[in-house]
Chain A
C-alpha cells in the first residue's frame, strides 16, 4: 500500500519537476506536461467510465436502440477531458512558482490522498460492487484530506512564499509586468498560455495588497492554493487507481 502511494506520488511529482527544471531551457519541457496530461486523462477516464457505464445500463432499457449510443463512455470521456484541461495548465503554472515548503505540503497531500484511496478501496470492497469501490475511494480520497490540507497550504503560502517587494507599490499593470518577468525571455505558445495564469496571479497579489490587513486578504490569497490542493488530491487519487495494477499482485 505504501509502495503504491509512493509510486503514485512520484508519477505526479516527477513530470512536474522535469517541467519545472526544463522550462528554463526550452519549450520542449512541455512534453512532460503532455505526459502528465495523458496520465491524468487515463486515470480519470478509467475510474469514471465504470460508473458512467453502470448508470447508462440502468437508465436505458437493453432493447432500446439508444442504449448502443449512450453507453456512458462519452460522458466519462468529457469528464476526463474537462479535468485534464483544467488540471494540466494549473499544475504547470503552479510548478513554476512553488516554494519549497509548499512543494513539501503538496507532496504530503499527494501521498496521503493516494494512501487514503487505497485504504478506503480495501474497506469498501466487501460492501460495494466491483468498480464502485474504487470510484467511492477515489472520490472520498480526493475530498477528505482537503479538510486538513487547504488550511495548511494556505498558511504555508501566506508565511513562506516570496513576493517581489515592487508589488507593494506597483499599480495593477506594473504588478502584472513584474510577475510576467519571471517567465523565460523567449517567445512561444507556452509563454502565451502561462502569461494568462501569471497575470491572474499578479492580479491576485495586487488585490491582496489592496485588501491590506482585512480578514479577507489571507482568504483571498489562499484561493488558488485551495484550487491546487483540490486538483492535486483528485489527481493523486485517480493516478493511484492507474498505478495499483502495476504495483500490487492481482488477488486470486
Chain B
C-alpha cells in the first residue's frame, strides 16, 4: 500500500516537473523569438536598404520608401499646381466675356427694375448666376478632372523616377524587389481614387458652387443698387411733380377726368425720367461699374483657385501617407 502511494507521489512529482519545464521552456522560447525577431526588424529598419547581393534584388527600407513617396507626391503637386492658372483662365473666360452684356443690362430701365425686384425677393444671386456663371460648374468639373489626370500622371512619373534613382549604381545591374514593386503599383492605382480633386469640386458644387459665388457678388452689388436707388428717387421727385402738373394742365378740358389724366402724365414722366437718368448714369458710371464687377469676379476666381489648390494639397498629403491623431484634429488650428 505504502509502495503504491510512494509510486503515485513520485509520478505526481515527475508530472509536475515536466509541466514546470514545459512552462518555463515556453517562456524562454518566446523570449528568444522576441529577441530574434526584434533584431531582424531593427536591422531592416536601419539598414536603409535590404539588398540581396546574390540575386541583386533591391527593396528600400520603409523609411527610405516613405521619403521617396513623399518626394514623388511633392513633385507631382509642384507640377500640377502650374496648370491651375491656365485652367482658371479657361473657367473664367466666359464669365469675364459676359461682363459688358451684364453692364448693358444693369444700365437699362428693365435691368434696373429687375434688380430692384430681385433685391427685394433675394433672387439676385440666381440672376447673376444665369448671366455671368452659366456653365461655370461644368467647366470647373472638367478642370478638376484634368487636374486629377495630370496629378496622377505626374505622380506615376515622379514615383518611378524617385525609385529608379534610389537603385544602387555600383556593381552589376540591380532589379527592384517584388515588395517595392507591389507598393509602388498599389500607390499608383490608389492615386486615382485618393482624395480626387473632382470629389472636392463635387462637394463644392453640392454646397452651392456657382450659386455661392453669385450670392457673394450679389451681396456686394446690392449695396450699390440701393445707394443708386436713393439718389435717383430724389432726382426723379421734381420730374414727377412737374409731370403730374403738366398732365393735369393738358387734360383740363376733360373736367373730372383731369386728375386721372394728370396721374398718367406722372407715370409717363416717371419712366421718361428713368430712361434719361439711366442713360446719364451709364455714360458716367458704366466703366466704373464694369471695373468693380471685374474686381468681384477676380475675388471669385481667387476663391476657386484656393479651392483647387487646397484639394491638390489634400491629395498630395493623402498619398504621401502622412498621419495625424484625433487629438491633433480636435486642437484649434492656428
Query: For B183, what are the chain A residues with a Cβ–Cβ distance below 8 Å?
Result: 185
Query: For B319, what are the chain A residues with a Cβ–Cβ distance below 8 Å?
Result: 166
In the assembled complex, the CB of A245 is this many whole angstroms from the nearest CB of chain B, namely 8
Contact status A14-B326, CB under 8 Å: no
Once the chains are docked, how many angstroms separate the CA of A165 from the CA of B38? 28
Contact status B324-A7, CB under 8 Å: no
Contact size range, A: 35 or more
Q: Does B325 contact A (CB under 8 A)?
A: yes
Contact status A162-B325, CB under 8 Å: yes
Q: Does A199 contact B (CB under 8 A)?
A: no
Query: For A11, what are the chain B residues with a Cβ–Cβ distance below 8 Å?
Result: 27, 30
Query: For B324, what are the chain A residues with a Cβ–Cβ distance below 8 Å?
Result: 162-163, 165, 168
Q: Does A221 contact B (CB under 8 A)?
A: yes
Contact of A246 among B24, B30, B195 (CB under 8 A): B24
Contact of B26 among A35, A159, A165, A177 (CB under 8 A): A35
Q: Assuming A21-B41, A24-B41, A170-B195, is B326 touching A165 (CB within 8 A)?
A: no
Query: For A164, what are the chain B residues with a Cβ–Cβ distance below 8 Å?
Result: 318, 321-323
Q: Assuming A165-B317, A246-B19, is B30 touching A18 (CB within 8 A)?
A: yes
Once the chains are docked, how many angstroms separate the CA of A24 from the CA of B23? 27
Query: For A218, what are the chain B residues with a Cβ–Cβ distance below 8 Å?
Result: 326
Query: For A168, what are the chain B residues with a Cβ–Cβ distance below 8 Å?
Result: 314, 318, 324, 329
Q: Does B179 contact A (CB under 8 A)?
A: yes
Contact of A208 among B19, B179, B326 (CB under 8 A): B326
Q: Give the 9 A-B residue pairs with the shortest CB-CB distance, closest first.
A: A166-B318, A21-B37, A162-B323, A14-B30, A159-B327, A185-B182, A169-B195, A165-B322, A18-B33
**Of B24, B186, B195, most A-chain CB atoms within 10 Å:** B195
Query: For B24, what are the chain A residues with a Cβ–Cβ distance below 8 Å?
Result: 246
Tell me the nearest residue of chain B to A14, going by C-beta. Answer: B30
In the assembled complex, the CB of B266 is this many whole angstroms from the nearest CB of chain A, namely 60
Residues of A at the B interface (CB closer than 8 Å) are: 7, 10-11, 14-15, 17-18, 21-22, 24-25, 32, 35, 158-166, 168-171, 174, 177-178, 181, 185, 208, 213, 217-218, 221, 243, 246
In the assembled complex, the CB of B310 is this many whole angstroms from the nearest CB of chain A, namely 10
Query: For B20, what are the chain A residues with a Cβ–Cβ distance below 8 Å?
Result: 246
Once the chains are docked, how many angstroms separate the CA of A14 from the CA of B34? 7
Q: Does B271 contact A (CB under 8 A)?
A: no
Q: Does B199 contact A (CB under 8 A)?
A: yes
Contact status A165-B318, CB under 8 Å: yes
Contact status A221-B326, CB under 8 Å: yes
**Of B20, B27, B186, most A-chain CB atoms within 10 Å:** B27
Once the chains are docked, how many angstroms separate the CA of A168 from the CA of B40? 34
Q: Does B260 contact A (CB under 8 A)?
A: no
Tell me the nearest residue of chain A to B189, going by C-beta. Answer: A177
Please report which residues of chain B, range 146-175, place their CB below 8 angstroms from some CB of chain A when the two chains form the complex: none
In the assembled complex, the CB of B229 is this many whole angstroms from the nearest CB of chain A, namely 43
Contact status A21-B34, CB under 8 Å: yes
Contact status A14-B27, CB under 8 Å: yes
In the assembled complex, the CB of B198 is this many whole angstroms from the nearest CB of chain A, namely 12
Q: Assuming A18-B34, A170-B194, A185-B183, is B325 touching A158 (CB within 8 A)?
A: yes
Query: For B327, what are the chain A residues with a Cβ–Cβ distance below 8 Å?
Result: 158-160
Once the chains are docked, how many angstroms separate the CA of A208 from the CA of B324? 14
Query: For B186, what are the chain A residues with a Cβ–Cβ distance below 8 Å?
Result: 181, 185
In the assembled complex, the CB of B39 is this many whole angstroms from the nearest CB of chain A, namely 10
Contact sample, A vs B, 16 pairs, CB 8 Å cutoff:
A11-B30, A14-B31, A14-B34, A18-B34, A21-B41, A32-B30, A161-B326, A163-B326, A166-B194, A168-B318, A168-B324, A169-B318, A170-B318, A171-B199, A178-B190, A178-B194
Once the chains are docked, how many angstroms separate the CA of A21 from the CA of B36? 10
Query: For B199, what are the chain A residues with a Cβ–Cβ distance below 8 Å?
Result: 169, 171
Once the chains are docked, how many angstroms separate the CA of A170 from the CA of B194? 7
Q: Does B193 contact A (CB under 8 A)?
A: yes
Q: Does B330 contact A (CB under 8 A)?
A: yes
Once the chains are docked, how many angstroms separate the CA of A41 from the CA of B33? 22
Contact status A163-B325, CB under 8 Å: yes
Q: Assuming A185-B179, A185-B183, is B190 touching A165 (CB within 8 A)?
A: no
Query: For A163, what are the chain B residues with a Cβ–Cβ distance below 8 Å?
Result: 323-326
Query: For A158, what are the chain B residues with a Cβ–Cβ distance below 8 Å?
Result: 325-327
Query: For B318, what are the chain A residues with a Cβ–Cβ distance below 8 Å?
Result: 164-166, 168-170
Contact status B182-A169, CB under 8 Å: no
In the assembled complex, the CB of B36 is this many whole angstroms from the nearest CB of chain A, namely 9
In the assembled complex, the CB of A32 is this many whole angstroms from the nearest CB of chain B, namely 8
